[in-house]
Amino acid sequence: MSSSSTTTTTTRLLMLKASDGVTFEVEEAVATKLGAINNMVEEEGSEDLICLPNVNGKFLGMVLEWCKKHANNNTNSDKGNDEVNKWWDKEFVMDLDQNTLYHLLMAADYLSGTELVDLLTEKVASMIRGKKVEEIRETFKIKSDFLPGQEEEIRKKNSWAFE
Amino acid sequence: MKMSHRPWSDLSQDILTLISNRLGLIELIRFRSVCKQWKSSSSTSTAEIESSPGLNPWFLFYGENLSPRSITRTGEKYAIRIPELEGAAVLASSHGWLLVFKNGSIFFLCPFSRSRIDLPSSPFSDLADHVASFSAPPSDPGCAVAVISRIDGRRLVLKLLRRGEEEWTSFEYSYGVSSLDAVKCAAHRGGSFYFFDGQDRLLMFSIKELGPKLCRVVKITDPKERAKCETMPFWCKKESGLKKWLEEDDLPEGASISTCGTYVESETERGSDHVIFHENIEAAEKSDGDQRLKLKGVWIHPRFFQVYKDGRW
């Protein structure tokens, strides 16, 4: 047997508690990819249980899943990692239904997961591209709240873009 | 917990801004008319992706008796209302802004948002052989504008205005008759203005040193020789291929067109940027002696800048 010690770096585990009481045990290195958790860890130091009253377990789970994938992919210093991450991100956002996308975006924003917010806002942007205003409103279930005449005014300014 | 369907109009301003920042020109304009919240959250979005490195500009037609039309990089055509361009001449195009001369005054115009920033009194009252360039968007504190014109056969005058200044500074420059032809095109890069004549000469003007330098542009392949010379930081596209690209109904028979070029960043870091030159595309002689139709055009990256501080320079 070789005498070399196995290099298992001991990583600290954090316990994250969602608004509905669901808890997640996560490696510190993964959880601190989220700016908000990183701040809490740095400020509060020893605290191992972190309560997140603004995130539901379902979405916290999804955010952490994304963090884990990215943390794992980044440990290999392969050049192909970017490609792997991109491919995985694509899969991640592909089948999100609108309600999930909405709540996930709120969760990622609350947890300051900047990269994930970028990914999700790009997904929303892609749902806007190529659509007419009425189609955008329909897609996102939005009712126009402009005063009568206001919308016409806006459209008139750039009528060419509404053709 | 009940997962209620939350309205997308209620997303935080910050998130909405992140979304609108990712949109191109047409989508941004549409985004702004969805609802009040979406409109106010996108007030600082400028369709930045439209000038991403490697993306070609749009082409904008304008001129007397011609309502402006734009042709996108994919060939779609739109008729756009831009009263500011009626009877005007575009002197320079860069960063999604145009430098416009009209009725004796000079101003910046973002033609798609129709934002306008007036410059202090124009340094000239009639347009002649003036060629201009500017270093940054007019809202940028480092923006400088340079306009060059000929006084006579051997003297040039360069007028410089830096942001915040109320008066133009003049620099006169004499040169040998054969050393510089009429200046045809200008560009800016890395703190220097580049003025090209129709031949192979170049007048460089450093904003910091406030001094001109006359150069010859040559193509050198021998690495040893090349080491002795300065390298141009961009390449020049003297012919944009516009004539081939335009369709017949864009350029009616007998029409000539004078264009204003722009600066295009390269997609890769190692590739170099290029300048699309100003061009004059003359019509084929018409035998019936009809007056030729004179059109104008400008290459521009379609951005959407909004100016709130009453458009002061």
Numbered residues of chain A with Cβ closer than 8 Å to any chain B Cβ: 19-20, 56, 99, 102-103, 105-106, 109, 117-118, 121-122, 124-125, 128-133, 136-137, 140-146, 151, 154-155, 157-163
Does the pTM surpass 0.90? The reply is no
What confidence tens digit (pLDDT) does each residue in B42-94 have?
A: 999 999 999 999 999 999 999 877 788 899 988 899 999 999 999 999 999 99
What local confidence, expressed as pLDDT, does residue B287 receive? 53
Least Cα separation, residue A30 to chain B (angstroms):
24
- Does B181 lie in the same domain as B39? no
Residue-number span of the structural domain to which B177 is assigned: 52-300
Judged by CB atoms closer than 8 Å, whether chains meet at A132 and B11 is answered as no
Helix ranges restricted to H, chain B: 13-20, 25-31, 36-41, 223-227, 242-245
Same domain, B275 and B220: yes
CA-wise closest residue to B313 among B93, B97, B62: B97
ipTM here: 0.87
Task: Indicate yes or no: CB of B80 within 8 angstroms of CB of A102.
Answer: no
**Paired tokens of B188:** 């800016």
What pLDDT is attached to residue B2?
Answer: 42
Fold of A13-142: Potassium Channel Kv1.1; Chain A (3.30.710)
How confident is the model at residue B59, as a pLDDT? 94
Do B127 and B197 have their domain in common? yes
Beta-carbon separation of A56 and B1 below 8 A: yes
Angle CA B262–B267–B273, to nearest 5: 40
User: For residue B305, is it within any domain?
Assistant: no
Is the residue at B5 inside a domain? no
Residue A7 has phi, psi (to 5 degrees) of -95, 65
Overall average pLDDT of the A51-78 stretch: 85
Q: Are residues B106 and B88 in the same domain?
A: yes
What's the whole-number mean pLDDT along residues A57-64? 96
The residue with greater pLDDT, B282 or B275, is B275
- Does B2 reside within a domain? no
Tell me, yes or no, whether B43 and B142 share the same domain: no
Q: Which of residues 48-107 of B touch A (CB under 8 A)?
A: 70, 78-81
| Nearest chain B Cα distance for residue A89, angstroms | 17
Q: Are residues B18 and B148 in the same domain?
A: no
Mind listing the pLDDT tens digit for each residue in B174-224? 988 778 888 999 999 999 999 999 889 999 999 999 988 999 888 888 888
| pLDDT at residue number B3 | 46
**B199 touches B214 (CB < 8 A):** no
Amino acid A102: pLDDT = 94
Contacts of B177 (CB under 8 A, 6+ apart): B153, B154
Q: In this structure, what CATH number is given to the domain that contains residue B230? A: 2.120.10
Same domain, yes or no: B105 and B226: yes
**B162 shares a domain with B46:** no
Residues B22 and B114 in one domain: no
Cβ contact, residue pair A128, B36, below 8 Å: no
State the pLDDT confidence band at B252, using cuts at 50, 70 and 90.
Answer: confident
What lies within 8 Å, CB to CB, of B65 at 6+ separation is none
In a domain, B88, yes or no: yes
**Other CB atoms within 10 A of residue B74 CB:** 7
Residues 6+ apart with CB under 8 A from B72: B58, B78, B302
Domain-located, residue B309 = no
Extended strands (E) in B120-276: 131-134, 144-152, 155-162, 169-174, 183-189, 192-197, 201-206, 211-216, 234-237, 255-260, 263-264, 273-276
Both B156 and B19 in one domain: the answer is no
The percent of residues above 90 in pLDDT, for chain B, comes to 59
CB atoms within 10 A of CB B109: 23
Other beta carbons within 10 angstroms of residue A131's beta carbon come to 16
Residue of chain A whose alpha carbon sits nearest to that of B77: A160
Going by pLDDT thresholds of 50, 70 and 90, the confidence category of residue A77 is low
In this predicted structure, what is the pLDDT of residue B223? Answer: 87
CB contact under 8 A, B33 and A155: yes
Residues 109-138 of B with CB under 8 A from A: 112, 114
- Do B37 and B95 sit in the same domain of this protein? no
pLDDT average, residue stretch A32-54? 84
Neighboring chain A residues of B29 at a CB cutoff of 8 Å: 158, 161-162
pLDDT at B168: 96
Q: Are residues B33 and B141 in the same domain?
A: no
> How many domains does chain B fold into?
2
State the DSSP code for A147.
P
**Chain B contact set for A155 (CB, 8 A):** 33
pLDDT of residue B289: 53
